[in-house]
Homo-oligomer: A and B are copies of this chain.
Amino acid sequence: MPSDKPQKSAAPLRVGIAGLGVVGGEVARQISHHGDTLAAVAGRDFRITVVSARSRDADRGFDMAGIDWVDNAAEIAERDDVDIVVEMIGGEEGVALELVTRALETGKHVITANKAMLAHHGTRLAGLAEANNVGLMFEAAIAGGIPAVKSLREGLAGNRVSRVSGILNGTCNYILTRMEKTGEPFDEVLADAQKLGYAEAEPSLDVDGIDAAHKLTILAAIAFGQTPQFDKVAISGIRDVSAVDFAYAKQLGFRIKLVGTAEPGRMPRMQTCLLPMSTQLAKVDGVLNAVEFDADPVGSVVLTGPGAGSGATSSAVLSDLVDLACDRIPFTFGRPVAALADGSAVENGGGPDTPFYVRLMVVDKPGVLADITSVLQIHDISVESMLQQGRAPQDTVALVLATHEVGVERLMTALTEIESLSCVMAAPVAMPILVPGQEG
């Protein structure tokens, strides 16, 4: 039999789980309660031998009998009765990094959902995994239950990828979707999302686009065969979007989303932008995630599904467990570390020219439009469409423009000049309009 065909007679794979929170706890419950389902496709049983978590006393809904407990998660790496370490602690450094490093060094497979760690230390960890002939698996790190990593790394393995786009942070997508639906301001929606458990008490990782940028870094590494290079991602979050922008965007035929985009040789960008309503990604609402791969020869493939939560994320961990049981051990980023291009060798700058959405708060009086359009003309920026909402002579109104394609630097220069005009009452708001991918 080929080596990766399940061998039902093989000994159980011994799993150590570090972190029994929302995801780690669910993984333990799935292994405990649905061992038969897993064994049927894995050809082997899984046995949890050791766990570690903050509180020893909580009832986590699975039988702890026969499972060892260690207070220091890093100890799991040193044990002889562990084949696979499931790291569900999080954080780019600290115990998580220590545990994963030592686990790989001691020849244990690692399954992690830790995108921050991979985005920052992925190359080194991938090298360790290779050197020690073990797998470093992370389907759960990106887009929750969507098999995005496997689809890109294996399912589209024969393609040249020209673009990866994604809605990769469910918290941001929930906030934007709700602002659009209810017109509530960002701060209120965020506060409510925190109450509902959709956002963390310290929301910066999510709403400033950092978590999503971690994921984009990893997808770009696989898609383009390059080292993950987080510091080469241009990041802007969702804090600056006003509820009014959703209504204006809608009138122009767009929706507002936090979208990551990566193309070969360019800086990946995680940015709040407008998407034509006719595109698939524009329709991804709430806590759903989506990824779109544009590639040759396949064309465009879009995957959508739950981006977070215990069920979705544990599904991804289970898929990695089955792969390991079947000896399907890929190179971490799809090829050997030595064959990865340098992810830092990308063009600096704001990405390709795109159309832009621009909102200006101006005094409603004659001559304003002429003042503004003359600045745009000086900078060779042409206007595709324009909206002025309502009439309020001598009062402040919104003037909304969609430009033709323009580089971000040229646009910013023009907007700085426009901001200095006496008729302009607030800093201009500008967001790129992404060119459509797959319609849907």
- Identify the A interface with B (CB < 8 A): 1-6, 8, 26, 30, 34, 37-38, 40-43, 130, 133-135, 139, 145-147, 150-151, 154-160, 225, 280, 283-285, 288, 295-306, 309-312, 314-315, 317-319, 321-323, 326-331, 334-336, 339, 438-440
Contact = CB atoms under 8 A, between A and B. Distances in A.
15 contacts: A4-B330, A5-B329, A34-B160, A37-B160, A40-B339, A43-B336, A147-B150, A150-B155, A159-B318, A280-B283, A284-B440, A298-B311, A298-B315, A302-B303, A305-B438
Contacts of A283: 280, 283, 440
A311 B330 contact: no
A139 B155 contact: yes
A295 B315 contact: yes
Given A311-B298, A311-B299, A312-B299, A328 B328 contact: yes
A311 B329 contact: no
Nearest to A158: B318
Nearest to A134: B2
Which of A5, A135, A315, A327 has the largest count of B CB atoms less than 10 A from its CB? Answer: A315
Nearest to A300: B305
A133 B41 contact: no
Given A145-B298, A328-B328, 16 more contacts: A2-B133, A2-B135, A2-B329, A5-B330, A30-B158, A34-B160, A41-B225, A41-B335, A154-B154, A280-B304, A285-B440, A299-B306, A299-B311, A300-B305, A302-B305, A303-B303
A219 to B, nearest CB: 15
A297 B322 contact: no
Given A158-B318, A158-B322, A438-B304, A311 B284 contact: no
Given A4-B327, A315-B158, A326-B330, A297 B26 contact: yes
A327 B6 contact: no
A121 to B, nearest CB: 21
Nearest to A439: B285
A411 B331 CA distance: 55
A158 B37 CA distance: 7
A264 to B, nearest CB: 12
B297 A312 contact: yes
Which of A26, A157, A285, A319 has the largest count of B CB atoms less than 10 A from its CB? Answer: A157
B40 A225 contact: yes
A40 B134 CA distance: 20
Given A40-B335, A298-B306, A314-B297, A156 B147 contact: yes
Contact of A157 (B155, B156, B284, B322): B322
